[in-house]
Structures are given as C-alpha cells and as structure tokens.
Structure 1
C-alpha cells in the first residue's frame, strides 16, 4: 500500500537513548478508479489548477480540493476515500522522496574531494585534477567523478515506524528522509 506524504521536519524521541525521527503528514486522498491492485488517486499538491486538471476533475467528479492525480498501489477495492488502516498496523515503510537540488556543482562539493593546498605558489585550489591516462585509452572513462548536476534525484529509504497518529494523520519514522521540509513524496508499507 502506498500513500502520498508531506515532510514536516525532524525531531527526536524522548526515550533514552534518543533516536532521530522524521515527521510525515499523510495527505487526504480519494480513489477514483481501481484496476487490479493499482488505483488512480487524487490528492491536493498545493499547486495552481490548469485546464488539464479541470478536465480530470470533471471526469472523476472531484471537488476543487483535489488537484493532482497519481497511480498508487492501494488497499481499496473500489472508488472512494483512501483506506488508512494498513498504516496503523505497519512496522516498516519505504520512503521515496526527491533529494534537494544543488544545481551544477564542482567536484569538491559533489564528490567530497579534498582539493589542493590553499597556500602560496600553485593553481590547483578547488579543481578536479588529472582525469585521464597519458595515451591509452585516449578518452575519459565512463563514471568518472567530475563536476555536474548534483541532487534533484529520486531516493528511496527504508524506515522503521515509531508511531502513527490516525486522528492527525502524522507518521513518525526513525531516521532521515530526503528532501526539504514541505516536499511531497510517497510512503510504501512493506511490513
């Protein structure tokens, strides 16, 4: 079973020893169609509406609070409100979020290289350094750690559930989850 969640932030438990935890808010969602375990689910992403979204709302008779559609694996067998019962019984979830985007980054930031000495008389500084061999193979090998796009990729992490507040729909998981506070992601119940 999958759910759309919003990352609230991080905290820690008050037990001894304390554990770092992440707070996730499970978003309200409506199941529009069910096809062999997967379903088309509508939720509110907080973004503006456009013509294509309005067309989807007409097709599935949705209210204006739901403005995005996504395909998820759900416990429901027919259209209606999303079933949150599996979350109350779960012990482990898989969290899938997009990491923070850092744009085009140099090799030191992207790969944690140490760089050259910062003292007098050289030009090495924060550069990558030598990247190839003298003559053979005459090209840069694939997978070479070089400057480039850093972040803004999908990341999946298994987290243990500490607690689930069904009334407020707050899920507390052990450890960190990728992405900035307020970002949306998916949570899949594994056990």
Structure 2
C-alpha cells in the first residue's frame, strides 16, 4: 500500500537512549478509480490549477482542493477516502523522496575531491584536474566524475516505523529521509 506524504522534519524520541526520527504527514487523498490493486488517487499538492486538472475534477466529481492525480497501490476496494488501516499494522516502510537540489556544482563539492595544495604558489585550486588519457583512447571516458547537476534525484530508503498517530495522520520513522522539509514524497508499506 502506498501513500503520498509530506516531510515535516526531524525530531527524536523521549525514551532513553533517544532515537532520531523523521516525521511524515499523510496527505488527505481521495481514491477516484480502483483497478486490480492500483488506483487513481487525487491529493492536494499546493500547486496551481489548470484546465486539464479541472476536467479531471469534474470527471470524478471532486472538490477544488484535490488538484493532483497519481497512480498508487491502495487497500481500498472502491472509490472514496484513502484507507489508512495498513499503516497502523505496518512495522517498516519504504520512503521515496527527491534529494535536495544543489544546482550546478564543482567536482570538489559534488564528488568530495580533495583538491590541490593550499599554499606556496600552486595553481591547482579547486579545479578538477586532468580528465583525459594519453593518445589512446584519446577521449574522456564515460562516467568520469566531473562538475554538473548535484542533487534533485530520486532516493528510496527503508525505515522502521516508530509510531503512527492515526488522528493527525503522522508517521514517525526511525532515521533520516531524503529531501527538504515540506517536500512531498511516497511511502510504501514494506512489512
């Protein structure tokens, strides 16, 4: 069973010794259509409306706050509110978020390179250094660690559930989860 969640942030338990936890809030969602275990689910992403979304809302007779649609594996047998019962029984979940985007970064930041000496008139600085080979093969090999886009990639982690507050729809998972606070992601029941 999958759910759309928002990352609230990190905290810790009050037990001794305390454990680091990440708080995830399950978004309100409506199941529009069920098809052999998978379903079209509508949720509020906070993004702008457009004509295509308005057409989907009319098709499924939804209120305006549900402005995004996604296909998920759900426990529901028919359309209606999303069933949260599997989360109460779960002991572990697989969380999928986009990592924080750091833009175009140099090789030292992106790949944790050491750089050159910092004194005595060197001209190395924070540059990548040599990237090619000799006459053969006479090109830069594929997969060479170079400057470029760093972050904003999808990352999945398996986390143990510490607690689930069904009233407030908040899951506390052990350890950290990728992404910025307020980011939207998915949670899939693993056990």
TM range (shorter): over 0.9
Provide Cα deviations, 1:64-87, integer angstroms capped at 9, x if missing partner: 121100000000111111000000
Distance 2:17 2:123 in 1: 48
1:158-173 equivalence runs, <5 A: 158-173=158-173
Distance 2:139 2:12 in 1: 49
User: Secondary structure in 2 aligned to 1:146?
Assistant: coil
Give the drift of 1:132.
2.0
Give the drift of 1:151.
0.5
Match of 1:32 in 2: 32
Match of 1:5 in 2: 5
Match of 2:111 in 1: 111
1:4-153 equivalence runs, <5 A: 4-153=4-153
Provide Cα deviations, 1:48-106, integer angstroms capped at 9, x if missing partner: 21111111100110001211000000001111110000000000000000111111100
Distance 2:69 2:168 in 1: 23
Distance 1:134 1:66 in 2: 59
Distance 2:15 2:141 in 1: 50
Provide Cα deviations, 1:16-41, integer angstroms capped at 9, x if missing partner: 22211100000010000011111000
Distance 1:133 1:68 in 2: 49
User: Secondary structure in 1 aligned to 2:57?
Assistant: helix
Provide Cα deviations, 1:128-172, integer angstroms capped at 9, x if missing partner: 111122221111111111101101110000000000000000000
Which residues of structure 2 form unaligned runs of 5+? Answer: none
Which residues of structure 1 form unaligned runs of 5+? Answer: none
Q: Which runs of 4+ in 1 moved over 4 A?
A: none
Give the drift of 1:117.
1.3
Q: How many residues align?
A: 191
Distance 2:49 2:175 in 1: 35
Match of 1:184 in 2: 184
Give the drift of 1:119.
1.2
TM-score w.r.t. structure 2 length?
0.98
User: Secondary structure in 2 aligned to 1:58?
Assistant: helix
